[in-house]
Amino acid sequence: MKQIIIELNDKYIVPSNIQRITADEWEIIISSVDSLLLKHDAISTNIVESEVNQMLEAKYQEQISALETQLETQTNEMTNLKNKYSKQLKKQKKDLEDLNKANIQAIQLSLKDTEKTKDTIILSLKAQIEELQKSIHDSQSKMQESILEKLEPITRFYGGTNSEKGISGESSIHELLLSYKSFNEAIIEDVSSQSSSGDLLYTYKSLKCLIKIKNKSKLVSDDMEKFIRDITISTKTRKINAGLFISLQTSIFPGRSQKPFQFDYINGVPVIYAYMPPPSSELHAAITYLENIVQQSSSIDNTQIELQRHVINYFNDTQIHRKQVTKELNEKRREVKSLTKQLDHLNDVYNNLYPICSKLSSAEEKSKDSSLLSDEDILDRLAHMYIDMALKNEAVTIELLYNTDIPTQLIDKFDIETIAAAATKIYIAQQLTEQRIELLCEFYSTYGRYPLRKELSKIIPDNILRHMTRISKSKKISETIAEYMLEHHPSDPPAEEPVEEVQPKKRIIRHRQQIEEPDEQQTDQ
């Protein structure tokens, strides 16, 4: 039996009817009261929450309204700012477009002016070059004419016909006699057309000298006999009192000694046999010698002392004349040297200006040509240049490629690695002949891989492999060649050798494939 103990205040009087309530009844009453209290609490809680919500809603509604008003105001302000800045942006954009158009027009005008200036410079340089070429050509022509004019007598003297040689020899001696200032009163007559008179008759004071000139590489006895006959006939007619036989090419006089300078008398007339190759400084001395002989023979008999004195005078005169000729020769050499310097200077100016003009004239053509090239064409040209430089053991860089005829802006499209890779492919393609490709394919078919570096040397020469390594900038050239072969010349892998134990498995696999094929067809359907 349950017992319920209720503690009450002493002042509280329990009614009599309550005292008769049993414990079960009290339990029911208490549970009812608890449920009523719970319901009351829930209702109270709902009422309180509702009131609190209403209070909060009323409290925050004002703040929400104020915030909505503020948000609306800010939105309007943002819209106004947006419209304002949008107008400003449009205006600035328009101004920039106008400025850009003006700049483009100014640049185009500047480019046109630059092109005109460039054309003007090119035309000016071309005109200067043409003028220099003309000046050089004229100078060369004048110099050539002068040289030919000076060489013509020499050419006739040595390489002409016998008649030309004779005339040239006589002319050279005649001019040499006229050049002596100390004998400017002398009379020189050309008597070659007269019989038995020699070639020249030289008259100076008391000297009347017959001069015979021979421009032959070999004298004969008839030449000597004719000279003696001319001297004898002219002496009888008293036309002469001295004789001079001049050989221009040989010192061998037939019937006489081989000395280049010989003295003798013919019928009492003093004569000299002299070898005088041009330009001869001894002619003046020989004339002086004969003059002294003639003067001495008219008053005193010729003695050894007089002859010695004449010989001394002869050598003295020879030395004086040699100095004069040396001085004139040095002056001519200085003139030739000065002309040579002028010609070299003109050539230098021409050589310096011609490349500049060529570059200026070809720059526009190169830029036009390069604009028509595709990137592949440019890369191909750069790769070939790279190969040429690398094979010359040069360390190839982008800066080094700038020195080629390809514009810099086109070269800058590629880095050095891209150019090296393209160059490697091109060089490998050049060196892999059909026979080498066939050997590489056979190697792959046998071993299932391409040869390593040591194995490659049996197919490709070592020097070519070193070139490939230098171009590719990679020590693993075998891998590079393998990649190239797989890309351009793929080969079949080696066939597997059949094994007896594996054969049943192969049949099972084929059976499975035959079984699985219908399923795949059904799946496709």
Region of residue 238 (phi > 0: left; psi between -120 and 50: alpha; otherwise: beta): left
Residue 434 has pLDDT above 70, yes or no: yes
- Over range 26-44, report the average pLDDT: 79
Using the predicted structure, report yes or no on whether residue 225 has a pLDDT greater than 90. yes
pLDDT of residue 514: 42
Across the range 446-464, mean pLDDT stands at 88
Pick the more confident residue, 310 or 289: 289
pTM above 0.85, yes or no: no
> b/e string for 364-388 if b means 16 or more Cβ within 10 A?
eeeeeebeeeeeeebbebbbebbbe
| pLDDT band at residue 503 using 50, 70 and 90 as cut-offs | very low
Q: What is the residue extent of each domain of the chain?
A: 25-154, 160-336, 375-500
Strands 242-247 and 261-266: unpaired
Mean pLDDT in residue range 319-348: 79
Q: Is the pLDDT of residue 255 over 50?
A: yes
Dist. CA 170–CA 167, nearest whole Å: 5
Quote the pLDDT of residue 1.
Answer: 47
What DSSP string runs through 273-317?
EEE-PSSPSSHHHHHHHHHHHHHHHHHS---HHHHHHHHHHHHHH
Would you say residue 508 has pLDDT above 60? no
Each residue's pLDDT tens digit, 134-191: 777 777 677 666 665 655 554 444 445 555 555 666 777 878 777 777 677 888 899 8
Report the percentage of the chain scoring pLDDT > 90.
7
More confident residue, 297 or 19: 297
Confidence of residue 510 (pLDDT cuts 50, 70, 90): very low
- Which H or E run contains 209? strand 207-214
Element (H, E) at 201: strand 200-204
**pLDDT of the residue at 125:** 76
Residue-wise pLDDT for 76-128, tens only, equals: 888 888 888 888 888 888 888 888 788 788 787 877 777 777 777 777 777 77
pLDDT reported for residue 228: 93
Question: Quick one: pLDDT at residue 520?
Answer: 42
Tell me: pLDDT of 54 over 60: yes
Which has the closest alpha carbon to 417: 376, 370, 382, 453?
382
Question: Sheet containing 187-190: which strands, arranged edge to edge?
Answer: 187-190, 200-204, 207-214, 242-247, 269-275, 261-266
pLDDT of residue 33: 80
Q: Other CB atoms closer than 10 Å to residue 297's CB: what's the count?
A: 18
Closest CA to 449 of 488, 427, 479, 407: 479
Q: Which of 33-47, 63-77, 390-404 has the highest mean pLDDT?
A: 63-77
Average pLDDT, integer, range 263-292: 82
* Residue with more model confidence, 120 or 435: 435
